[in-house]
Amino acid sequence: MDMHFYIGAGERDGSGHLNRSKQVIAQLMAFGHGVTVTGNFSRGARATLVESGYEISVAADARGDVLIVDATSILPEFRSLSDAFRKKILISPVFDKGEIFSCAMTRAHTDTTADVIKAGGRVVIDPRFAFAGLCPDQICEAVRPRNRVVGVCISGGESYADIETILEGLSRVTSIKKVIVVGHNGAIANNVDCEISFLSANNDLWGALGHVDLFVTGDGLMLFEAIARAVPAISIVRPNAHHKNRFFYENGWCKKIDLESLSSKTVSRLAEDVETWQTLNALLHKKNFARYGSLLAQQIDAELRNLHGIS
């Protein structure tokens, strides 16, 4: 079945969303669907899509049976064409105008899904959709009791999270040998005395990090990839954002620190408990969340087959 897949990959969007979209598209194509890519692309994102061999369409040419949106908003010129599609499916947990969708498939109930329901649309909520497109090539086999390595990647960190506070807290933990910081400018406070390594933003985040025993992030997609890799993680949660990932917090599949209570002492207290992280690593191995990497694509495929009466 032919469809348009709208990707939100503008200058301010992280590469994680683009990577997820690419993987879901590949899975849908493997099911036999024809997919044309459209959306809001940065120059780098467009180049990546072209290199990957995807057919890209501009808004004026967008027509078809199905529109799938993996974005928090769509361009105005595309919104005016949304009625050109028989079915419109949203796979992001948040969107600025949810009522334009006939179906939403997300990991959590949000104001957006409420909009879809009010407009008479169908909503499928499954926390396992969080692992859409993930197919990790390496798993954290064990958490080292000493000489631990910690990865830190806070999406938008320079605008909302104090990296210096996080690093200061980690440096107080004697079992931590090294901290690898990805996507930050490298400015740190004088009282951070452990070994710090700075890496520029990297599409191959986990290849760059290597074996880390703990991961600290403020980004949902990075959090889910850590969980899928059995890497114990600390999630820095912004105000009013708890609900999107509450299923994972409440089931103990990661730890969290609310941004309002972020302090070096809070970070130290949580990071130093090696036994907790070893237990969590073992639990994540048992859960094997990576097996849900194609679940969302399977659900979309079933929805489309039902739309056309295909068994």
Any domain includes 186:
yes
Spatial separation of the C-alpha atoms in residues 292 and 301, rounded to whole Å: 15
The per-residue b/e assignment along 56-83, b for 16 or more CB within 10 angstroms, e otherwise, is ebebeebebbbbbbbbebbbeebeebbe
The one-character DSSP state at 299 is H
User: How many other C-beta atoms can be found within 10 angstroms of the C-beta atom of residue 206?
Assistant: 20
> Is 153 found in the same domain as 81?
no
> Is 152 found in the same domain as 282?
yes
Close Cβ partners of 251 (under 8 Å, ≥ 6 residues apart): none
Any domain includes 234:
yes
Any domain includes 142:
no
> Is 202 found in the same domain as 125?
no
Q: Are 232 and 281 in contact, with CB atoms under 8 Å apart?
A: yes
Residue 152 Cα distances to 216, 247, 252, angstroms: 5, 22, 20
Residue range of the domain that includes 211: 148-290
Any domain includes 41:
yes
> Is 228 found in the same domain as 118?
no
Spatial separation of the C-alpha atoms in residues 196 and 160, rounded to whole Å: 21
Alpha helices in the chain (DSSP H): 15-30, 43-51, 76-79, 111-118, 157-160, 163-171, 205-209, 220-228, 242-250, 264-271, 274-287, 295-307
Look at residue 158 in the predicted model and tell me its pLDDT. 47
> Is 299 found in the same domain as 267?
no
Q: Are 252 and 276 in contact, with CB atoms under 8 Å apart?
A: no
Residue 90 Cα distances to 112, 144, 216, 286, angstroms: 10, 40, 28, 31
> Is 297 found in the same domain as 280?
no
Look at residue 75 in the predicted model and tell me its pLDDT. 83
Pairing, β 85-90 against β 64-70 = parallel
Look at residue 190 in the predicted model and tell me its pLDDT. 60
Average pLDDT for consecutive 10-residue bins of the chain (311 residues)?
Answer: 84 76 94 90 88 81 83 81 84 87 94 93 96 91 96 67 87 94 69 78 78 93 95 93 91 95 95 97 97 96 79 47
> Is 239 found in the same domain as 165?
yes
Spatial separation of the C-alpha atoms in residues 7 and 114, rounded to whole Å: 22
Spatial separation of the C-alpha atoms in residues 92 and 24, rounded to whole Å: 12
> Is 298 found in the same domain as 286?
no
Overall number of domains in the chain: 2
Spatial separation of the C-alpha atoms in residues 276 and 252, rounded to whole Å: 11
> Is 105 found in the same domain as 205?
no
Any domain includes 215:
yes
Any domain includes 141:
no
Close Cβ partners of 262 (under 8 Å, ≥ 6 residues apart): 161, 162, 165, 166, 236
Look at residue 204 in the predicted model and tell me its pLDDT. 76
> Is 280 found in the same domain as 169?
yes
Any domain includes 140:
no
> Is 107 found in the same domain as 39?
yes
Any domain includes 252:
yes
> Is 186 found in the same domain as 58?
no
Spatial separation of the C-alpha atoms in residues 41 and 239, rounded to whole Å: 28
CATH number for position 99: 3.40.50.2000
Task: Kindly state the tokens that stand for 78.
Answer: 């595309």
